[in-house]
Amino acid sequence: DEHKSKPTQHSVKELQGMGIRPDIIVLRCDEPLEESIFKKISMFCNVKPDCVIENITIPYLYEAPLMLEKANFSSVVCRELNIDAPAPDLTEWTSLVERIKNRQHVVHIGLVGKYVQLHDAYLSVAEAMRHAGYTLDTDIDINWIDSEQLTKETYEDRLKDLDGIIVPGGFGGRGIEGMILAAKYARENKLPYFGICLGMQIAVIEYARHVCGITDAHSGEFDEICKNKVIDFMPGQSENIDKGGTLRLGAYPCIITEGTTMERCYGTNEISERHRHRYEFNNDYRDILTENGLVLSGKSPDGRLVETVELSDRPFYVGVQYHPEFKSRPNKAHPLFKGFIEAALKKQAEK
The CATH classification of domain 6-97, taken from the options 3.40.50.970, 3.20.20.100, 3.40.50.300, 3.40.50.720: 3.40.50.300
Tell me the pairing of strands 229-233 and 279-281.
Answer: antiparallel
- 168 CB-near residues (< 8 Å, 6+ apart): 111, 113, 122, 125, 196, 197, 198, 199, 325
Reported residue count of the chain is 351
131 in catalytic set: no
Tell me the pairing of strands 138-146 and 229-233.
Answer: unpaired
Mean pLDDT (the chain) is 93
Q: Given strand 306-311, what is the order of strands in its sheet?
A: 138-146, 105-113, 164-167, 193-196, 317-320, 306-311, 294-299, 248-256, 270-277
What pLDDT, on a 0 to 100 scale, did the predictor assign at position 237? 45
**What is the band of 137 on the pLDDT scale with cuts at 50, 70, 90?**
very high
Distance between CA 241 and CA 131 in Å, rounded?
A: 39
Instruction: Parse the chain into domains and list their residue ranges.
Output: 6-97, 106-350
Given this chain, do its domains 6-97 and 106-350 carry the same CATH topology? yes
What pLDDT, on a 0 to 100 scale, did the predictor assign at position 173? 85
Contact 212, 204 (CB under 8 A): no
Question: DSSP assignment of 230-267, as one string?
Answer: EEEEPTT--TTS-GGG--EEEEEEEEEPTTSHHHHHHS
Active-site residue (options: 45, 131, 177, 197): 197
Mean pLDDT along residues 247-272 = 95
Residues β-bridged to residue 253: 272
Distance between CA 31 and CA 106 in Å, rounded?
A: 30
Residues β-bridged to residue 107: 140
pTM, two decimals, is 0.89
Using CB atoms within 10 A of its CB, is residue 310 exposed (0-12), middle (13-18) or buried (19+)? buried
Contact 228, 214 (CB under 8 A): yes
78 in catalytic set: no
Residues 89-112: tens digit of each pLDDT: 999 999 999 999 999 999 999 999
Active-site residue (options: 212, 325, 334, 342): 325
**Residue 61 pLDDT greater than 80, yes or no:** yes
Which CATH code is given to the segment(s) 106-350?
Answer: 3.40.50.880
34 in catalytic set: no
Distance between CA 294 and CA 302 in Å, rounded?
A: 20
Residues 216-233: tens digit of each pLDDT: 999 999 998 899 999 998
**Residue 135 pLDDT greater than 50, yes or no:** yes
Active-site residue (options: 131, 277, 323, 334): 323
What pLDDT, on a 0 to 100 scale, did the predictor assign at position 241? 43
